[in-house]
Amino acid sequence: MILLTGGAGFIGANFVLEWLAIHDEPVINLDKLTYAGNMESLAVLQGDPRHIFVKGDIGDAALVSGLLERYQPRAIVNFAAESHVDRSISSPEDFIQTNIVGTFRLLEAARSYWVGLDMAEKTGFRFLHVSTDEVYGSLGPADAAFTETHPYQPNSPYSASKAASDHLVRAYHHTYGLPVLTTNCSNNYGPRHFPEKLIPLMIVNALAGKPLPVYGDGLQVRDWLYVADHCSAIRRVLEAGKAGEVYNVGGWNEKPNIDIVGSVCALLDGMHPRPDGKSYREQITHIKDRPGHDRRYAIDASKIERELGWRPAETFETGIEKTIRWYLANPGWVADVQSGAYRDWVDTHYAGAATA
Catalytic hit among 134, 166, 229, 254: 134
**Is the distance from CB of 7 to CB of 39 less than 8 angstroms?**
no
Task: Indicate if 18 belongs to the active site.
Answer: no
Task: Indicate if 189 belongs to the active site.
Answer: no
Catalytic hit among 57, 82, 133, 229: 133
Q: What's the rounded Cα separation, in Å, for the pair 356 and 345?
A: 21
Instruction: Please give the angle made by the CA atoms of 47, 50 and 55, to the nearest 5 degrees.
Output: 75
Could you tell me which of 28, 37, 20 has the C-alpha nearest to residue 82? Answer: 37
Could you tell me which of 2, 250, 255 has the C-alpha nearest to residue 132? Answer: 250
H-state helical runs in the chain: 10-22, 61-71, 85-90, 92-95, 103-115, 119-124, 157-176, 198-207, 227-240, 257-271, 302-308, 316-329, 331-337, 341-351
Could you tell me which of 332, 317, 323 has the C-alpha nearest to residue 263? Answer: 317
Could you tell me which of 342, 300, 237, 299 has the C-alpha nearest to residue 2? Answer: 237
Could you tell me which of 12, 90, 89, 79 has the C-alpha nearest to residue 51? Answer: 12
Residue 39 three-state SS: helix
Q: What's the rounded Cα separation, in Å, for the pair 108 and 302?
A: 32
Task: Indicate if 307 belongs to the active site.
Answer: no
Catalytic hit among 158, 189, 215, 247: 158
Q: What's the rounded Cα separation, in Å, for the pair 88 and 108?
A: 25
For 272, counting Cβ atoms within 10 Å of its Cβ (0-12 exposed, 13-18 middle, 19+ buried), the class is middle
Q: What's the rounded Cα separation, in Å, for the pair 324 and 237?
A: 29
Active site residues: 133-134, 158
